[in-house]
Amino acid sequence: MLEFKRYNPSHFHDDGSLKVSALLWLIVLYLSRHLLVLMVGGLSTFMGSRSGLDTSGLSILYSSPAFLPASLPALVVLVARLRRVAGAGSFVRWLWRGGRYWLIAAALIDLTTLAVHWTLGWLGTTQMQVAGAFVDAYIMVYLVRSRRARDLFRDFPTAQ
């Protein structure tokens, strides 16, 4: 259980565990974007190209299947969050405790894949990709320095 004096009571669930902040939800969604965009594209194809979702604007977020591995560590955190309940097993608890490192790995894989593609000339440099590289770098710094992120991944609901 965390110290209550550091956080407002509204930052906690009813079971006393620290809530995932909106910023951390955005980080998880951003880092899993390659997989999410692929799923949206698949949904659009399933629904039919004429009546499906227009995914043409999503191409700036998803450049190649080579970027999919960058989304997998973020997916691990998302699954661990969905299973973050008092009765969860030791494996889910282990995944959650490593959540910061999973997200840092996702950002690092994304940034490294982007750098390799730029270096080898497989991908042209766009403003969105440069901005994405800066966002990846910011996410890594935030996850290393943030006390809230550190406390969140250290905390897990306990049985009452």
Domain residue limits, the chain: 4-154
Q: Which amino acid is at 153?
A: F
Does residue 3 carry a pLDDT above 60?
no
Provide the whole-model pTM. 0.81
Q: What is the mean pLDDT of the chain?
A: 82
- For residue 61, the model assigns a pLDDT of 52
Higher pLDDT, 106 or 160: 106
Q: Give per-residue pLDDT as tens, 24-34.
A: 999 999 999 88
Tokens representing residue 24 in the block = 């951390």
Angle among Cα 80, 107, 73 to the nearest 5 degrees reads 30
Nearest to 74 by CA among 43, 98, 57: 98
